[in-house]
Amino acid sequence: MHRAPTISAVILDKILAFLAPLFLAAASGDTTAARQAARALLADYNPRTDNELRRAALIIAFDFGALDALSRSVADDLTLNQVLRLRGNANALNRASLQNQKALDALQQLDPELAEEAADMPASLEPADLARFARTAAPMSRQQRRLAERQAEKAQQRMQEQARRAQRAAEVAARRAASAQQPALQT
């Protein structure tokens, strides 16, 4: 029996508590108004599950973080290094927002029940399945993807090497058994 996916009130409250400070200045310090602004933005993403809600919250947080970093980068009293660092941070935050948007879009393409089940566990503990699960569970940077691919390749090479060693050990044991039988045959 499947239950209809829902958004947990506790998780929604926690996410609103995290997002509200982004809007406090614009809401003149009114926490209720700031939480309402965060709730309205979250509603625009139509989250159906806790996972989708979390993705939507990350998109909002990264977007506003990028805008904040860009806004700060135009201050007159900053060194060139500080300006470049702020713009680099804004770019990284924007990239993270886009990755979460892709993940949210992919989740929303699935049936909500299937989306929750798919996010629970990898298909198996095989390196390829773990790498595939990691790629779908959380968007990775190019470096993270390459690291996961290298780890999967190394694990596969280790398994192949173990198989080769086992085969060699079996061959050596067979040769020893054959050589042990030869003197017995000659006598």
How many angstroms separate the CA atoms of 184 and 37, rounded?
90
182 band by pLDDT with thresholds 50, 70 and 90:
confident
1 band by pLDDT with thresholds 50, 70 and 90:
very low
What region does 29 belong to: left with phi over 0, alpha with psi -120 to 50, or beta?
Answer: left
**N-term to C-term CA, the chain:** 74
**Cα separations in angstroms, 45 against 42, 81, 100:** 6, 36, 12
Q: pLDDT tens for residues 7-53?
A: 888 989 999 999 999 999 999 999 999 999 999 999 999 999 888 99
Q: pLDDT tens for residues 64-102?
A: 999 999 999 999 999 999 999 999 999 999 999 999 899
pLDDT at 134 over 60: no
135 band by pLDDT with thresholds 50, 70 and 90:
low
User: Would you say how long the chain is, in residues?
Assistant: 187
How many angstroms separate the CA atoms of 111 and 3, rounded?
13
